[in-house]
Amino acid sequence: MKISHIEHLGIAVKSLEEAIPFYENMLGLKCYAVEEVADQKVKTAFFMAGQTKIELLEGTSPESPVAKFIEKKGEGVHHVAFAVADGVQNALDELNGKGVQLIDKAPRNGAEGLHIAFVHPKSTLGVLTELCEK
């Protein structure tokens, strides 16, 4: 697999309504999109910090992975998303073949029209890892 760059950093927040003004008024970043991803039970807000994308995530139900994460660990960095140049399925197959624990066996639809898949943090030194492609 070939990782081309960090596609975004995911940050879990309790409330986008409170977090967006912090990022805009204190950090001077502009929220350019808000999108709900029903499949993942999250509402997302996007910012660019130079060339790096930040994705704020609010859970839309108590069973949301983001709500469960905040319940357990509090707000904070939730995942790192890598763009893969040669396909998410290819990367998943390669990692699976090397014994890495996958959350998704096949890509699914994420925010901004990306195809995404998650790799389990227990297999990635404690960092929930997302693979994406356009």
Residues found near ligand CMX in the complex (CB under 6 A): 10, 37, 40, 42, 57, 65-66, 68-69, 72, 78-79, 103, 110-111, 118, 120-121, 126, 128
Q: Cβ 2 to ligand CMX, closest distance in Å?
A: 21
25/102 with CB nearer ligand CMX = 102
Gyration radius (Cα) of the chain, Å:
15
The Cα–Cα gap between 68 and 72 comes to 6
Contacts of 83 (CB under 8 A, 6+ apart): 3, 4, 5, 6, 7, 132, 133, 134
Q: Cβ 68 to ligand CMX, closest distance in Å?
A: 5
Closest residue to ligand CMX in the complex (CB): 65
Q: Cβ 116 to ligand CMX, closest distance in Å?
A: 6
The Cα–Cα gap between 9 and 56 comes to 8
